[in-house]
Chains A and B, each alone.
Chain A
Amino acid sequence: MKFNAMTAIAAVLFSVPGLVAADPDDDNLVINGEIEMTTKAEPPAHLDGALPEIMSGWHFRSDETQALQMDDFDNSGMIFVDEGMAQWNTVEGSEEKSCATCHEDPSSMKGVRASYPKWDEDAGEVQTLAMQINDCRENNMGAEPYGYTSGKMANMEALIAVQSRGMPVDVAIDGPARETWEKGKELYYTRTGQLELSCANCHEQNYGNMIRADHLSQGQINGFPTYRLKNAKLNTVHARFKGCVRDTRAETFKPGSDEFVALELYVASRGNGLSVEGPSVRN
C-alpha cells in the first residue's frame, strides 16, 4: 500500500456516515398518539420572506431525541409539570392564597402560553409569562417572586404551557406592542460578541447546517420551557437566550431585562402558527 497517511485519514473521515445529511426531517409530531402538532407552517407575513417555512426545533433532532417528546411518559419534562401542579396548589404569601384559590384548575390557563409575551395595559409594558406569574405572586398572593429562570419558574411555565399544547402560537405585534417588537427585531439582527454573530447568522441564514456536530435549528421558542438532554432539566427562554449570546463571547443581557423581553416577543412572533409544544425535549 503506497498511499500516504493524510489521504488514509481523510478517507476514513469521509466514510463516516451521518455527518453530511443535515436537512431537517419530514417526520410528524403526534404526542401520546393524540395531540397532532403543527411543526411546519407558512411563515407569518411580518417575516417578509426571511424564512420560506417556519419549523419547530423538533425537526432538527435525532430520531431518539424526537421519540422522547412523542409520549408524555418518555418526556422527562412532564415530571416538572407534576412539580408545577404541586406549586399551583401551595398556599403562599401574606394573602394566604395559592394559584388555585383564584384560577381553580390549571386548565383555566388554556391559551395563555400561546399569546405571551403580550401588552399589559395596566403595567404599560409588554409582559412575558414569567413576569405575569411573578406579578400575580407579588401583588395578588403577597409572596416572593420566583427567580426569573429558576426551577420553580420553569415548572410553573411548563404547567401553564402544557394547557395550550397543540394550539398555534399567536402573539400580537401590533398596537402598543409594536415598539417593543421593533426593538426585539433590531436585537435579532445585531451582531454581538467577539464572534460577531447575530441570532440571524445562525438561525435564519444557516438553519439546517451543522455547526461542528450540532444541527442548527431556526431557534424557534414554541417548545419552551424545554427539557434538554445536556443539563437534564427544564430550560427557560431567557436562560437559553443568555447561553446563546454568551457563546458569541459577549456580555449578555440579563434574564428579565427589557432587551430579552423584546427579543422574546420578536422570536415568539417568528413562530406564529407553530404549535405550543412546551415542555419539549431537545439535545
Chain B
Amino acid sequence: MASGVRPRVKAPRSAEAGEVVTIKTLISHKMESGQRKDSDGNVIPRSIIHRFTCEFNGTSVIDVEMQPAISTNPYFEFEAKIPEAGDMVFTWYDDDGDVYTETKSVAMA
C-alpha cells in the first residue's frame, strides 16, 4: 500500500426511507501528476488515484473517473438517496493497484 493513505468519510448514521443525504469524502494521497520533475530534472512518474466509487447495498451512487488534475488529498461531495437501511461502501483505486475502502452503515430513522 502506498504510505500514508487515509480515507475520511462524512455520512449520516441514520436516514428516513427515500431521504437524500449529503456525503463528503476525503483521502490523503499525493496525486503525483506525472508533470513534475525532480531536482535532477527527471520526470516524476504519475501516481494517482484514478477512480472513486460509492455504492449503497451494491447499487451505484456515483462513479468518478479521475485525472491528474484532481488536487492532492482528493475531496468529493455529492448526494445519495437512501432507500433502506444498509451499507454505503466507498472505494478508491490507486494507479499502483492498491484499493482503499471504507464502509459506513446507515440505519433507518
Contact = CB atoms under 8 A, between A and B. Distances in A.
A73 B6 contact: no
B24 A79 contact: no
Nearest to A77: B73
B73 A73 contact: no
Interface string B48-76: 00000000000000000000000111010
Contacts of A80: 28
Contacts of B73: 76, 79, 232
A83 B24 CA distance: 18
B6 A76 contact: no
Interface string B11-24: 00000000000001
Contact of A233 (B8, B24, B72, B75): B72
Contacts of A78: 8
B71 A232 contact: yes
A186 B73 CA distance: 39
Contact of A73 (B10, B27, B28): B10
Contacts, number: 28
Contact of A83 (B4, B71, B72, B75): B4
B43 interface: no
A76 B28 CA distance: 9
B102 to A, nearest CB: 12
Given A73-B24, A73-B26, A74-B24, A79 B6 contact: yes
Contacts of A251: none
Interface residues of A, number: 12
A83 B26 contact: no
A96 interface: no
A142 to B, nearest CB: 24
Contacts of B72: 232-233
A82 B24 contact: no
Interface in A64-106: 73-74, 76, 78-80, 82-83, 86
Best-buried of A79, A80, A83, A232 by chain B (most CB within 10 Å): A79
B6 A82 contact: yes
A51 to B, nearest CB: 34
Contact of B8 (A82, A86, A232): A82
A232 B28 CA distance: 10
A74 B28 CA distance: 13
Nearest to B24: A73
Interface of B: 4, 6, 8, 10, 24, 26-28, 71-73, 75
Q: Which 3 A-B pairs give the minimum distances between C-beta atoms?
A: A232-B72, A73-B10, A73-B24
